[in-house]
Amino acid sequence: MSAQESSLPSPAQTQPKIDMLGYGLAFAGAALFSTKGVFIKLAFAQGVSVEATLALRMMMALPIYLVILALLLLRNAKLRGMMTPGRLMGAMSVGALGYYLSSYLDFAGLAFVSAQYERLVLFTYPFFVLLFGVWFFGDRMNWKLVPAMLVSYSGLMVIFAWNLSVQPDGLVIGTLLVLGSALTFAFYQHLAKRQMLVLGTMLFTCVGMSTAAILAIGQSFIVDGPSTYAGFAPNIWGIGLMLGIFGTVLPSFLLNGGIARIGARATSSTASFGPIITIVLAVAVLGEAFTWVHALGTALVLLGSWLFARTDRQSRSRST
């Protein structure tokens, strides 16, 4: 072997290492986000209304986002200069769409359907992202993704048909509400991407979440009345704290950390574990049923989502 050959790096040396910390952050974020539906169901079981549950979540999260927002603006004069009235209103409007309206529809839907079914319906929002991109934002349609979409929706139809035969009350309205949440969140994704290109992820998230929190708390004060909260038992406040911290704030920062280390595509690939975690928690904590029908439907939804992500990734890599 020549000196030149011996100096070449080996395949083991050139192969990039897997960022275990980055993937760990992404998985932890996806896992915590998946607990949201379980906490909401626990609050409903205590007689807390949809509006009050959403407000409890926001009450716990709002102070943290306000502190972060204040620190960002105090420490960075450039960010303060970026916060023009037009940009502020744009971030507030988009945040209200994604963090308030979409969340409210999701919470309202959970009053009618199981936590695991809700998670599976929400899990199809990337399909709506694709369609909205084609219809409204000038993206090209990738017809190779359609079979994957059909596989996932066939899984949803399997579980929907089973629920319709066993417990039909509220199923249609619940499904429509959760689908509405997926639709609005998909539209939010396109608008938020444009906001973050201007303001940055942290600043936009803090402004959007704070706006949504004020709207949610205000809505609950109008519907339920401020006196409602004085009658909440400590365990209800505990559920609100868990929902706000572990179902909202922590996963948002964990996922941002994962994106910073391994990128958005790799981080999004970890989301497929979310429905599985929700199902385990819903069965163990809430006592929800999980039959072979649920297993079949869940497998089809996850398979379709995996095929969708894989085909989309391959198409993007060929076009670059």
Does 86 fall in a domain? no
Number of structural domains (the chain) is 1
Per-residue pLDDT of 22-75, as tens digits, reads 778 877 877 888 888 899 999 999 999 999 999 999 999 999 999 999 998 888
Provide mean pLDDT across the span 209-213.
92
pLDDT for the residue numbered 318: 65
Q: List the domain range (segments joined by +) for residue 154.
A: 115-168+290-320
5 pLDDT exceeds 50?
A: no
Does 99 fall in a domain? no
pLDDT for the residue numbered 266: 55
154 pLDDT exceeds 80?
A: yes
Does 317 fall in a domain? yes
- Select the more confidently predicted residue: 13 or 261: 261
Per-residue pLDDT of 239-296, as tens digits, reads 999 999 988 888 877 876 776 676 544 555 566 667 778 888 888 888 888 888 888 8
Nearest-CA neighbor of 288 among 113, 98, 40?
113
Confidence at 12, pLDDT banded by 50, 70, 90: very low
Does 206 fall in a domain? no
Tell me what percent of the chain is helix, strand and coil, each rounded to the nearest 5.
85, 0, 15
77 pLDDT exceeds 50?
A: yes
204 pLDDT exceeds 70?
A: yes
Per-residue pLDDT of 86-111, as tens digits, reads 889 999 999 899 889 999 999 999 99
pLDDT for the residue numbered 316: 60
Per-residue pLDDT of 215-246, as tens digits, reads 999 999 999 998 889 889 999 999 999 999 98
Does 316 fall in a domain? yes
Does 10 fall in a domain? no
CA 54, CA 219: separation in Å to the nearest integer? 10
Contact call for residues 56 and 240 (beta carbons, < 8 A) = yes
pLDDT for the residue numbered 17: 63
- Select the more confidently predicted residue: 261 or 162: 162
Per-residue pLDDT of 121-150, as tens digits, reads 887 777 787 788 788 877 777 777 778 778
Does 108 fall in a domain? no
Per-residue pLDDT of 185-202, as tens digits, reads 888 877 887 887 788 878
Does 155 fall in a domain? yes
Q: Count Cβ atoms within 10 A of the Cβ of residue 143 and give its class: 0-12 exposed, 13-18 middle, 19 or more buried.
A: exposed
Full DSSP string of 118-165: HHHHHTTHHHHHHHHHHHHS-PPP-GGGHHHHHHHHHHHHHHHHHHHH
